[in-house]
Structure formats: structure tokens, C-alpha cells
Structure 1
Amino acid sequence: MFTGSPAEYADRERQARDRAAQVVALLSEIDTLGLGPTTGQLTIPGIGTLRKIGDAWEIR
């Protein structure tokens, strides 16, 4: 459990959102290789869930 200040928590949430966006970009790049279907989801605390919706990955 996080025990830092609210400002530190907000900064870490921002960092997590930035990294989640990078993961979405990487998963999309992997899909463009056309090696086969990619499925699944990743749950990131405080951010949401990365899911493949149609042909794209997104954060919900």
C-alpha cells in the first residue's frame, strides 16, 4: 500500500498513465506485425484496464 503524500501519489498515478499509454502503443505495434490475433487485458491499479477493442488497444 502506498504511504507517501498526496502529491507523490498523484505523480505516481501520472507516471502509471504515461507507461500505460506506452504499453498500448507497443501492443498496437505488435498487432501490426500480423503474426496472429492478440487478446487479453491488463488491469493497472488507479488507472484502469487495457483492453483490445476491435482492432485497437485502449485504456478504460
Structure 2
Amino acid sequence: MHTGDARSLQEKEEQARTLALQVAALLTQLDTLGNVTAAPGRILVPGAEISRDLSGAWTVR
């Protein structure tokens, strides 16, 4: 949850968009290797699963 001013919110949104674009590019690369499937809390990629652990951090198994 954002608790700062409008400018800091805009900066965080811009940073999040930049990171989201990088994630989308990586998912596109993974998709060329095989089927990528998204489900709540996890992403299945060829040979691995990206999911949240109990602390909420993203991990790869």
C-alpha cells in the first residue's frame, strides 16, 4: 500500500511498469522453449515452476 505523495506513487508505478515489461520479455523468451502456463501464485515453464514460498518470496523449483 502506498503511503507517500502523488509524485512518489507515480515514480513507483513507472518503476513497476519497467519491471513488468522485463518480466513480459522473459516470459516471451521462455515461451519459445515450450508451453508457459500461469495459475494463481505460480507460473509453470518448461522444466521448472515459479511460485511463492511461505514468506511470499518468488522461488524456482
Whose radius of gyration is greater, 1 or 2? 2
Q: Same fold (TM over 0.5)?
A: yes
Which runs of no fewer than 5 residues in structure 2 stay unpaired? 41-61
Instruction: Please tell me the root mean square deviation across aligned C-alpha atoms, in Å.
Output: 1.7
TM-score, structure 2 normalization: 0.57
Which runs of no fewer than 5 residues in structure 1 stay unpaired? 43-60
Larger RCO (alpha carbons 8 Å, 6+ apart): 1
Aligned-residue offset at 1:6: 0.3
How much identity, in percent, do the aligned residues show?
A: 45
Segments of 4+ moved more than 4 angstroms: none
Give the length in aligned residue pairs: 40
TM-score, structure 1 normalization: 0.58
